[in-house]
Amino acid sequence: MYKKNLKKLMLLILLSLLIFSCAKESETQKCATDEVLINNICTNKTLLCGKSLCSEHETCEESTCKKTLVFSTYNLYDLKNPYAYKNLAKFIKEKNIAIMVSQEIQVEDKEALLKELNALNIDAEIKFSTYGGYGGDDGNDYLAVISRWPIDEIDTILTERYQDPISGYSYSFNNMRPVLEIKLKVFDKAITIFNIHLKAQSPWPSCPDCIRKRRAQAYALENYIIDNLDPINDDIIIAGDANTATETGEDFEKGNTLDMLTLKTDENNENDFLSINYEYKRESTHTRYESIMDHIILSPKLLEQYIDDSVNIITPSGTPSDHKALLLKLKY
């Protein structure tokens, strides 16, 4: 009798272990490939840090969770590639991007993109410029910000007439892309972001008026920042598609477009900004052309928070755009 009962007990134990193992396997299979099951909750693997679990606004450095802002700029090519919304949302989650400024996006894209973000449990808001420009058949090429941090203020600026200081030509900006100014707080610290999309070199390559318009836009932004902010002490980001891609590289020459965007053409050397990817990467930001069109530019104060070697130029999985995404990390 004792042996018979022992045998039954062993069979029950083995059966229980098998059921438990199957249940755990079933639970694990519910998680995505970039997730791990912790306390029956699917958690992004990037949040694991030693024995800790970082929040969505932290990154792991030396097995310690540290407050970090992952910032990105991405020209979205009107989100017209197959599965662009889904692939963009996956990229934002995979890289834990907290703020992304985007160009070539339409107001009509908002609901579809939010739906894909929400499906990945990403709580974000999307806000647009009041108008765009040069959109043609694909729309009006708005500027937008996708943010997991609450946006305090947003304004469409530089909408009047401005002069290129080199050629002397002046241009009305009411039919060109404006600049989107975004103000918010990150870890209770104020930050101002300027989302830009300067005039493209089109028709290519001969378009002398194009670089004049880019310089007029860049120079107007340089003066706006000097007049309205403290370029030395404020946390400021200029980011977007500057279209610095002329055949001769004129945009990168001293006193030209990039110098204006980095506040190097005024008389104060202490307020000079820095294009992080141009300084540290010098890689093409386009999937088809060898051109450094896109930039993330930091003010001197914000440069102190830049995490070394964190700037990256990536073609997200599924190639949702003809541009590459540009991102970096800031420590708090």
For residue 67, CA distances in Å to 58, 142, 153, 303, 325 come to 4, 31, 23, 16, 22
Structural tokens at position 50: 């030693």
Place of tokens 């003809």: 322
- The domain ranges of the chain are 33-67, 70-330
**Spatial separation of the C-alpha atoms in residues 76 and 320, rounded to whole Å:** 7
**Spatial separation of the C-alpha atoms in residues 142 and 157, rounded to whole Å:** 13
**Among candidate residues 238, 159, 161, the one with its CA nearest the CA of residue 194:** 238
User: Residue by residue, what is the 3-state secondary structure of the chain?
Assistant: CHHHHHHHHHHHHHHHHHHHHHHHHHHHHCCCCCEEEECCEEEEHHHEECCEECCCCEEEECCEEEEEEEEEEEECHHHCCCCHHHHHHHHHHHCCCCEEEEEEECHHHHHHHHHHHHHCCCCCEEEECCCCCCCHHHCCCEEEEEECCCEEEEEEECCCEEECCCCCCEEEHHHCCCEEEEEEEECCEEEEEEEEECCCCCCCCCCHHHHHHHHHHHHHHHHHHHHHCCCCCCCEEEEEECCCCCCCCHHHCCCCHHHHHCCCCCCCHHHCCEEHHHHHCCCCCECCCCCCCEEEEECHHHHCCECCCCCEEECCCCCCCCECEEEEEEEC
**Spatial separation of the C-alpha atoms in residues 126 and 130, rounded to whole Å:** 13
Note the pLDDT of residue 28.
Answer: 47
Note the pLDDT of residue 129.
Answer: 95
pLDDT tens figures, 270-290: 999 999 999 999 999 999 989
Note the pLDDT of residue 46.
Answer: 64
Note the pLDDT of residue 25.
Answer: 46
Tens of pLDDT along the chain (332 residues)?
555 555 555 555 555 555 555 554 444 457 777 677 776 777 776 678 887 788 878 877 788 888 999 999 999 999 999 999 999 999 999 999 999 999 999 999 999 999 999 999 999 999 999 998 875 555 588 999 999 999 999 999 999 999 999 999 999 988 789 999 999 999 999 999 999 999 998 877 788 899 999 999 999 999 999 999 999 999 999 999 999 977 778 999 999 999 999 999 999 999 999 999 999 999 999 999 899 999 999 999 999 999 999 999 999 999 999 999 999 999 99
**Spatial separation of the C-alpha atoms in residues 90 and 96, rounded to whole Å:** 10
Give percent of the chain with pLDDT exceeding 70. 87
CATH architecture of 70-330: 4-Layer Sandwich (3.60)
173 within 8 A of 160, measured Cβ to Cβ: yes
Note the pLDDT of residue 314.
Answer: 98
For residue 42, CA distances in Å to 19, 24, 31, 115, 116 come to 21, 13, 5, 20, 18
